[in-house]
């Protein structure tokens, strides 16, 4: 009798302290049952007639350590100036609009730079827009890269309400 009462109190305590993320406890019944889960498909053996064996592709290194075409800073700076000028010339600073505009401008610059066809370069574009209210703005970046292959280009724009700076990084894949 005491064991039944103790068991009933423990089950009541377990029900009261349940978590939202707890899964219900499932115990097999007295007649026997099982729970089976197939998390992934069973693997086939090599001798299975229904298993189609895939060909192994062997890649060779290109042994290309230097870029075919170097990153052209002047060309990219011109793209940056054009994109900033055409999108910001009549813009007034608004924090919400400018935060969205930074993403759009960075994407537009990146697409135009990628169209120049710098093969095996990863292009990263970054745009910052700040309000002009008699204060200074200083932007910096630190990078670990190969100084002989990797490079960057930057440009800025100002009007009566805002100032913007865009930087494009070109990182070469060996």
Q: Which CATH number fits domain 73-172: 3.30.1140.40, 3.40.630.30, 2.60.40.2470, 2.60.40.10?
A: 3.30.1140.40
C-alpha distance from residue 102 to each of 9, 160, 164, 171 (Å): 61, 18, 9, 21
Segment 12-34, tens digit of pLDDT:
555 555 555 555 555 555 555 44
Within 72-116, where are the H helices?
73-88, 95-114
Segment 133-161, tens digit of pLDDT:
988 888 888 989 999 999 999 999 999 99
Domain boundaries, the chain: 73-172
Q: With DSSP H G I counted as helix, E B as strand and the rest as coil, what are the percentages for the chain, rounded to 5?
A: 30, 15, 55
pLDDT in tens, the chain (174 residues): 566 665 565 555 555 555 555 555 555 555 554 454 444 455 555 566 666 667 787 777 777 778 888 999 999 999 999 999 999 999 999 999 999 999 999 999 999 999 999 989 999 999 999 999 988 888 888 989 999 999 999 999 999 999 999 999 999 987
* pTM for the structure as a whole: 0.64
Which residues are within 8 A (CB) of 108 and not within 5 positions of it... i.e. 6 or more apart?
83, 87
């Amino acid at each position: 009798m005491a064991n039944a009462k103790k068991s009933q109190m423990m089950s009541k305590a377990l029900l009261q302290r349940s978590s939202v993320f707890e899964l219900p406890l499932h115990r097999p019944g007295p007649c026997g049952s099982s729970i089976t889960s197939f998390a992934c498909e069973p693997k086939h053996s090599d001798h299975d007639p229904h298993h189609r064996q895939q060909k192994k592709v062997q890649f060779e290194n290109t042994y290309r350590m230097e870029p075919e075409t170097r990153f052209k800073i002047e060309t990219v700076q011109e793209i940056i100036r054009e994109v900033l000028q055409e999108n910001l010339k009549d813009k007034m600073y608004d924090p919400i609009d400018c935060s969205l505009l930074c993403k759009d401008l960075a994407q537009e610059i990146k697409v135009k730079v990628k169209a120049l066809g710098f093969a095996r370069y990863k292009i990263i574009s970054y745009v910052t827009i700040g309000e002009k209210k008699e204060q200074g703005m200083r932007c910096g970046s630190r990078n670990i890269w190969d100084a002989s292959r990797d490079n960057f280009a930057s440009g800025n724009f100002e009007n009566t309400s805002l100032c913007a700076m865009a930087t494009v990084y070109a990182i070469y894949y060996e």
